Amino acid sequence: MTLQRLPAGLPPDEAEKLRWQAFGHKHTSVLTSADGFQRFIAQRGFVLTGPQRGLQFPSALEAVVGRPLLGRSFEERTAELDAWRCDCVSRGRLHAAAVLLGYSTLSSTPFHIDFLALAADRDDLRKMDLALAKQRLGYDAGVVCEHLARSDGALTQAELEEYMQLRSQPGRTRLRRALGEAIRRFCVCEVFRKSPSGEVVVAYDLTARACAGPLAKACKIDPATARQRIATRYLRNVLVEGCHEMARVLGWPPDVTLATLRRLESRKIASEHPASRHNRWFFQANATDLLPPHSTPRSSDAPSDE
């Protein structure tokens, strides 16, 4: 879809109305196939797998259901979403990560590479150097990386429980936390593999091994360029966002986030929102590609975009 201009200074109620459409919260746009599921995520670059309290961002599950879930599960469609997720990730059409506040995230390949670019200068990623990786990780997360490095490929959670002798319920909780930390630090990524019975199961592998191709491309990208692309896509997804909130969700330093948004402002991709005040900056996308033409409010002074 082509970019559509947005009127400057969207009021909260208008921004929320447009978000409803951009997030896929409409019964008329319910996702009904794996291809539609993939297109929804590719258009938005990266989305949450499921909604998270206090985080306004598109989620795959809400788009599958066609409405906000407000913290409730929707079991009938969860199984379908999991099947599409396994299919798309196992075939390399999407990537599973945890780039939004450490929550499960699905991303298209270009944005997966951009997120990797922000960490690609780390020797523990590029060289799979476990000694360096363990300096950045807790003990359990470091042990997970060691076991994966010694294995011939990805391991399931059950296999890691066996290797690490964490078969009790407290042990499984420790392992889940360790995996979460290693994934958030980009040392480990979620993959899918076929079991002997032919069933596709969730597994975990070292990022340097499982994403060798994207990581090689990421090493050639300037981190500042990657940040601008991510921030542009983020803002076009949510339309209006505070600098402080974007920094929190993406895990970026506030000053770096503000500098990135100011750069987008200078390029006329974003503009400072009237809600901004001292030390509390808000920015609005000047345009988005997620709305049908008739839904964009008309304004004679709509800001221009590239």
Residue 94 host element (H or E): none
139 vs 211: CA distance, rounded Å: 24
Q: What are the residues whose beta carbons fall under 8 Å from the beta carbon of 106, sequence distance 6 or more?
A: 41, 46, 47, 49, 60, 85, 88, 89, 94, 95, 96, 97
The token pair at 154 is: 């990805």
User: Domains along the chain?
Assistant: 8-114+221-295 (no CATH), 121-218 (1.10.10.10)
Question: Which DSSP symbol is given to 167?
Answer: -
Do 49 and 63 form a contact (C-beta atoms < 8 A)? no
79 vs 85: CA distance, rounded Å: 10
Do 193 and 87 form a contact (C-beta atoms < 8 A)? no
The pTM score is 0.87
Structure-token match 């480990």, residue found: 188
Question: How far apart, in Å, are the Cα atoms of 9 and each of 88, 273, 275, 292, 298?
Answer: 38, 5, 8, 20, 13
Do 240 and 282 form a contact (C-beta atoms < 8 A)? yes
Question: How far apart, in Å, are the Cα atoms of 69 and each of 4, 42, 52, 290, 304?
Answer: 28, 22, 10, 20, 35
pLDDT in tens, the chain (306 residues): 589 999 999 999 999 999 988 998 877 778 889 999 999 999 999 999 988 888 899 999 999 888 887 655 566 678 888 889 888 988 889 998 889 998 989 999 999 999 998 876 555 555 555 666 666 788 888 888 888 888 888 898 888 988 888 878 888 898 989 998 888 888 888 888 777 777 778 899 988 888 888 888 988 899 999 999 999 999 999 999 999 999 999 999 999 999 999 999 999 999 999 999 888 999 999 999 999 877 776 654 444 444
Which amino acid, one-letter code, is at 173? Answer: T
Structure-token match 């996308």, residue found: 285
